[in-house]
Amino acid sequence: MTSLSDAIASTRMRLAAHGQEHVLRFIGELDGTRARALLAQCDALPLDLLAREMTAILGTAQSGMAEPSHTRIEAVDVIPAHPEGWVEYATAGEALLRAGKVACFTVAGGQGTRLGWDAPKGTFPASPITQRSLFQIFAEGIRGLRERFGAPLDWIVMTSPQNDVPTREFFQSHGSWGLAPGTVRFIVQGTMPALDRRGKILLSDRSELATNPDGHGGSIRALAESGELARLRGRGVEHLSYFQVDNPLVHPAEPLFLGLHATHPSSGGQMSSRSVSRRSAAEKVGVFCQRAGRVGIIEYSDMPPELAAAVLDDGRLLHGAGNIAVHALSLAFIEQLTQDGLALPFHVAHKKVPCLDSGGVLQAPSEPNGIKLETFIFDALPLADRPIVVDSRRDEWYAPIKNADGGDSPATSKAAQVARAARWLEACGVRAPRNGDGDVDAVIEVDPAVALSENDLRTALATGQARAPKQVNPGDRFVVA
């Protein structure tokens, strides 16, 4: 083994060539093991890439333009969702599920800083009565789908190095909510070093660089590098149903969407997305659009204001399709991306990064002090052959838990879950009390294993698999199970 002093000298030289040698400023105080651990972290740094990204970031800051002005942005075609008329696609999706050609994929490696929950976000109690965690909601939904379609429906959960252990422990302590061992598998995403505003790498400890998970776009590489992609292939899986950990309304593997993705004539069958109508030009969701003829998503913050607000003759937003991070991806597409040496673009977030100051004291900043570099899964869309975007009812699909309070919070998400449960029950002939504003005057929860849609509920009630009263009274609280 190279002597420690030689190893330090060679790493220092490499770092110095990129102006990053300051990360070794405390190495003389470390014992051999910690010093070597720090050197290993430094030797794995993508220093050229960081330098390129910083040049781009500083250039953008100077010009004030995140989206190059010459990029032509056009509206995207959105396929309206008409489930009644599209039985053939739902049937095609069901056939994929039955044949074991679909696996669910949840990205759960985020830091969840806005929510401020001191554990992986998937462990957050999200349902209105039983306080089912987000993970439990998805697990039970998947269990119900497996039973309904006799489908293997593996579930892959992406974690980060920061939350992998507590996530696995949570699943273990709940027996994965009845999902058989080996049918839920975890993969760990990569990280990126956190930088200060000048692009200098930050330290979280004298022997450790400050890092953050590399974004949900890191899921593509994590699938390949973990060996999970090959394993799924070996199990006959052809498509992944991708969703985020923060949205309890999401359908983990909807037959109609999967069928449209795999068999609709407009679809290349590589990557498809569900969208919702944006509430307003100011709503903070990514926007589907076409750039240079390729479908993609622009972050709301990068959307030129006049385009964000542009309306059609009937008053609807021209760029009205908002991203809810629900995608279907073919394994063949992911394989192609990884074989081609995938390089999704980095996005910059200014965040509060706890880090050592020059004297080696850990500081918890009250204002954003650092830069986080992340890649996003939706940047794979322009690389896909004819991606389709399928419109969705927001109140059926999307009520994320992002913030501790205000919009997209546990309170708004629970209200949306109750509203959807009441709507499904009403559609099945059960009367639900509503106040003058039309809000449901009761708390209702549907066991996700029993129903993921109004139709499921109708069948479950008709076959006696679930029970509900004929009428819900004001103030009632009950779970349809």
Determine, following the binding rule CB under 6 A, whether residue 232 of this chain makes contact with ligand UTP: no
Q: What share of the chain is helix, strand, coil (3-state, %, to 5)?
A: 35, 20, 45
Kindly tell me which residue out of 42, 107, 209, 466 binds ligand UTP, with binding defined by CB under 6 A. 107
What backbone torsions phi and psi does residue 69 show, to the nearest 5 degrees? -65, -20
Nearer to ligand UTP, 41 or 160 (CB): 160
CB of 337 to ligand UTP, least distance (A): 17
CB of 212 to ligand UTP, least distance (A): 7
Please list, residue by residue across 421-454, b when 16 or more beta carbons sit within 10 angstroms of its beta carbon and e when fewer do.
bbbbbeebebebeeeeeeebbbbbbbbbbbbbbb
Nearer to ligand UTP, 140 or 374 (CB): 374
Beta bridge partners of 106: 157, 243
Q: Which of residues 243-282 bind ligand UTP (CB under 6 A)?
A: 244-246
Nearer to ligand UTP, 15 or 108 (CB): 108
State CA 399 to chain mean position distance: 13
What CA–CA distance (Å, rounded) separates 256 from 393? Answer: 14
What CA–CA distance (Å, rounded) separates 320 from 308? Answer: 8
Nearer to ligand UTP, 121 or 148 (CB): 121
- Pull the structure tokens for residue 52: 């390129």
Residue found under tokens 């999704």? 344
Identify whether the C-beta of residue 39 lies closer than 8 Å to the C-beta of residue 220: no
* The one segment of 107-115, 234-242, 285-293, 442-450 that binds ligand UTP by CB under 6 A: 107-115
What CA–CA distance (Å, rounded) separates 200 from 215? Answer: 20
* The one segment of 9-17, 62-70, 105-113, 199-207 that binds ligand UTP by CB under 6 A: 105-113
Nearer to ligand UTP, 179 or 220 (CB): 220
Nearer to ligand UTP, 101 or 402 (CB): 402
Contacts for 393 with CB less than 8 Å, ≥ 6 apart = 81, 276
What 3-state class would DSSP assign to 426? helix
Residue 156 CB-half CA count within 13 A: 25
CB of 114 to ligand UTP, least distance (A): 3
Nearer to ligand UTP, 29 or 405 (CB): 405
Determine, following the binding rule CB under 6 A, whether residue 189 of this chain makes contact with ligand UTP: yes
Identify whether the C-beta of residue 324 lies closer than 8 Å to the C-beta of residue 109: no
Determine, following the binding rule CB under 6 A, whether residue 109 of this chain makes contact with ligand UTP: yes
Q: Which of residues 119-178 bind ligand UTP (CB under 6 A)?
A: 121, 158, 160
Strand segments (E) across 321-474: 321-330, 347-351, 355-356, 362-363, 370-374, 389-391, 443-446
CB of 340 to ligand UTP, least distance (A): 22
Determine, following the binding rule CB under 6 A, whether residue 108 of this chain makes contact with ligand UTP: yes
What CA–CA distance (Å, rounded) separates 208 from 353? Answer: 14
CB of 234 to ligand UTP, least distance (A): 24
What CA–CA distance (Å, rounded) separates 94 from 240? Answer: 14
Nearer to ligand UTP, 2 or 113 (CB): 113
CB of 108 to ligand UTP, least distance (A): 5
Residue nearest to ligand UTP (CB): 110
Nearer to ligand UTP, 86 or 105 (CB): 105
Identify whether the C-beta of residue 174 lies closer than 8 Å to the C-beta of residue 136: yes
Identify whether the C-beta of residue 105 lies closer than 8 Å to the C-beta of residue 250: no
Nearer to ligand UTP, 213 or 370 (CB): 213
* The one segment of 77-85, 86-94, 109-117, 282-290 that binds ligand UTP by CB under 6 A: 109-117
**Total number of residues binding ligand UTP (CB under 6 A)?**
22
Beta bridge partners of 212: 192
Determine, following the binding rule CB under 6 A, whether residue 193 of this chain makes contact with ligand UTP: no
What CA–CA distance (Å, rounded) separates 164 from 274? Answer: 28
What backbone torsions phi and psi does residue 3 show, to the nearest 5 degrees? -65, 155
Kindly tell me which residue out of 93, 215, 259, 410 binds ligand UTP, with binding defined by CB under 6 A. 215
Q: Which of residues 362-401 bind ligand UTP (CB under 6 A)?
A: 374
Nearer to ligand UTP, 121 or 278 (CB): 121
- For the window 396-435, what string marks contact with ligand UTP as x by the rule CB under 6 A? ------x---------------------------------
Nearer to ligand UTP, 160 or 272 (CB): 160
Number of other residues whose CB lies within 10 A of the CB of residue 94: 17
CB of 247 to ligand UTP, least distance (A): 8
Contacts for 175 with CB less than 8 Å, ≥ 6 apart = none
Rg (CA), the chain: 24
Helix (H) or strand (E) holding 82: none
* The one segment of 102-110, 167-175, 390-398, 454-462 that binds ligand UTP by CB under 6 A: 102-110
Which residues contribute to the site for ligand UTP (CB under 6 A)?
107-114, 121, 158, 160, 189, 213-216, 218, 244-246, 374, 402
